Amino acid sequence: MSVSLFNLPDCLVLSLLLVLIGSYGVFRRRSLIMILLSVEVMLNGVNLSLVSFNFFRWGATEASHYLYMLSIGVAAVEAAVGLSMIIVLFKNYNDISRDRVAQLGERA
């Protein structure tokens, strides 16, 4: 009798946990770097569900792996743009909190 370590419901539960942990970090953290990391955790949860659906439902096709690689590329660009915005905020205001971003549009 062969018992599989992972099956579709277990992978989807793990994916849901990653998305929930990431969303908790987005809503509760004040630092922009921690918010950016939380968004990356959420993206990894979505990617895990995509690959697990492909593996357990459609076998060894490579369609979701191409989408996964595209998603990783988009995440890399998103991280680079987010970090560059954080660096500019820190250079100009010496603060990278969520409150500083909210105050950027206000007139003094």
Whether 77 is in a domain gets the answer yes
DSSP string for residues in 81-98: HHHHHHHHHHHHHS--BH
Whether 16 is in a domain gets the answer yes
- The contacts of residue 22 (CB under 8 Å, 6+ apart) are 38, 39, 40, 41, 42, 43, 45
Say how many domains are in the chain: 1
Name the band, by pLDDT with cuts 50, 70 and 90, for residue 3.
low
- Domain of 83, CATH number, reads 1.10.287.3510
Location of structure tokens 């915005």: 85
Query: Domain range spanning residue 64?
Result: 8-103
Location of structure tokens 């357990």: 56
Q: What is the pLDDT of residues 35-47, one digit of tens each?
A: 999 999 999 999 8
Whether 3 is in a domain gets the answer no
Quote the pTM value: 0.81
